[in-house]
Structures are given as C-alpha cells and as structure tokens.
C-alpha cells in the first residue's frame, strides 16, 4: 500500500471500483469502509456513505447497536453526532465562527434539550469529552497505514500484542494499568501475523516474536482448523482482554 493510495481514500477519489485481489491492496480499503459504515449511527449513513461496491452487501452486516448509536426518541442524553442530529427539530450551533465542509460528521452538545423551543441549540464537542463526562463508549475511528512497520515505529503503544496460536492466553498477560496503558492488538490474515511480519522487507525483525511484546492466542484448546477467522479472533481477543484489564483493575 502506498501513501498515494491512502491519500486517495481519504480525499474521496477512491471509489472501490477495483475488486480486491492478492495482487492489490483493495481489500484493506474495503475493510476500512465497512468498519467506518458500521461505526456510524444509522440515521447518518444515507448522507455520509454514497452507494458504492464495498457497501453492496452492507445490509447483511450484524448491527453494532453501540452506545453512541442513539435513537430518535432518546432525549435524555445531551450529546449526539450530527449531520442532522436525528431528532424532531433542527440544530443550531451557538457560534458562527466555525466553518465546516459539507458532510462533516461532528459531535454536538445540546444545551436546551428539555426546553420548549423551535430549534435545538448547542456547541461542537468531542467524543473524548463525552466518554470522560459520562463514561459512555463513543465509537472508534479507522486509520489506514502503509504497513505494519509504520504502525509500530515511534513506540506509541505501551504493549503491542500479536494474535497467534503460539501465544499465551489473555488472562496470563501482565499489564500495568496505573496509567491507562495504550494496547495495540495485531491480527493477521489467513496466513496469520507471521506472514504480515515477513512481508515487511525493510524491518529489522523476521519473526512475530521479534516484532511484538507478547503473543496472545484465542483459546487454550486446539481450534481444529488450519487457519483462524479474523472476525472471530477480534471478538474473542477483545472480550478476553477486557476481562483481563477489569480483573487487574480490581486487584
């Protein structure tokens, strides 16, 4: 994957007309688009996601029903992500000094939610503030990187864990949770994280054990398959890591 192709994705010139294949990186862009679509509240999707090939079968995706996917009748929660805010009235930002491009998704804080008024009024805020004030999960973001080495450089994470059948269980991973550590979980494709590591020709490491601080496996039992499904591993490992962190937090 090149910087030019990543830039094309973000500036809107990528349309997904080329089908994913082993000879290209279109699968990465398809996956990014699907993840962005799933994270977006339902009432915004029609405006933010035009009809395109990567989303042809989006109707078959399991809904997340995440906490930030608010319903039109949920008027007790003052934060909402908007193009429109999905309620019965239009929304007006307090200040006119902010210029937003069309189809920009932001989160707003409603100041007059329970008042009798013609318009809702408030200000632009951030998902970080929502989580800090309410403790409520406010979605994820998707970033495309040109390679695994680019992700790992700069040591931006406290722990980098690769998911591999050779690893230990998440319940056995030691994590210092005093400063809310940043944890990166790396999932491989059909060939596993080893193939991802070996494909980085300019990297110093040649094995998964060299690239990651720890390897984590999904189960203590043999899975009975030559390969592991990434979508199953993601759910399993995230759930196990959450349980592990909650357990450590109670010690």
Is residue 85 a contact partner of residue 77, using CB atoms and an 8 Å limit?
no
pLDDT computed for residue 11 by the predictor: 85
What b/e readout covers 82-96, taking b as 16+ CB neighbours within 10 angstroms?
bbebbbeeebeeeee
Three-point CA angle 74, 235, 82, nearest 5°: 30
β-pair type (79-82, 106-110) = antiparallel
C-alpha 102 chain-centroid distance: 23
Give the torsion through C-alpha atoms of 44, 47, 52, 58, to 10 deg: 20
Question: From start to end of 103-191, where are the E strands?
Answer: 106-110, 120-125, 159-169, 183-186
Give me the count of residues in the chain.
Answer: 251
What is the mean pLDDT of each successive set of 10 residues along the chain, which is 251 residues long? 87 85 87 92 85 89 81 62 67 69 80 76 84 86 88 85 89 81 87 83 78 87 73 88 87 72
> Domains in the chain, ordered, with CATH?
3-60 (no CATH), 79-134 (2.40.50), 148-250 (3.40.1280.10)
pLDDT computed for residue 185 by the predictor: 92
Read off the tokens for 247. Answer: 């357990």
The partner residues of 217 in beta bridges, in order of sequence, read 169
Determine which helix (DSSP H) or strand (DSSP E) holds 217, and give its type and residue range. strand 214-217
pLDDT computed for residue 37 by the predictor: 92
Q: For residue 227, report the phi and psi dihedrals to the nearest 5 degrees.
A: -135, 160
| CA-based end-to-end distance of the chain | 43
pLDDT computed for residue 15 by the predictor: 83
pLDDT computed for residue 215 by the predictor: 92
Q: Give the per-residue SS3 of 179-210.
A: CCCCEEEECCECCHHHHHHHCCCCCCCCCHHH
The partner residues of 124 in beta bridges, in order of sequence, read 108
pLDDT computed for residue 77 by the predictor: 62
pLDDT computed for residue 96 by the predictor: 60
pLDDT computed for residue 82 by the predictor: 56
Task: Enter the pTM of the model.
Answer: 0.78
């Amino acid at each position: 994957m090149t910087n030019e192709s990543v830039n094309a994705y973000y500036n809107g010139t990528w349309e997904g007309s080329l089908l994913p294949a082993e000879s290209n990186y279109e699968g990465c862009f398809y996956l990014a688009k699907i993840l962005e679509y799933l994270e977006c509240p339902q009432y915004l999707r029609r405006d933010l996601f035009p009809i395109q090939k990567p989303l042809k079968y989006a109707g078959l995706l399991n809904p997340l029903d995440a906490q930030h996917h608010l319903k039109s009748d949920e008027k007790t929660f003052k934060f909402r992500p908007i193009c429109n805010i999905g309620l019965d009235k239009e929304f007006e930002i307090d200040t006119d000094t902010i210029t937003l491009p069309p189809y920009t998704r932001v989160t707003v804080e409603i100041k007059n939610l329970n008042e009798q008024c013609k318009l809702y009024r408030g200000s632009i805020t951030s998902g970080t503030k929502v989580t800090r004030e309410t403790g409520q999960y406010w979605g994820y973001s998707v970033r495309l990187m040109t390679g695994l080495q680019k992700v790992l450089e700069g040591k931006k994470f406290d722990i980098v864990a690769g998911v591999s059948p050779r690893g230990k269980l998440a319940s056995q991973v030691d994590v210092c949770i005093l400063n809310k550590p940043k944890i990166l979980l790396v999932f491989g494709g059909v060939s596993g994280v080893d193939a991802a590591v070996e494909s980085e020709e300019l990297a110093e490491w040649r094995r998964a054990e060299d690239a990651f601080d720890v390897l984590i496996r999904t189960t203590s039992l043999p899975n009975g398959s030559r390969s592991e499904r990434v979508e199953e591993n993601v759910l399993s490992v995230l759930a196990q890591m959450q349980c592990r962190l909650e357990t450590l937090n109670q010690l």
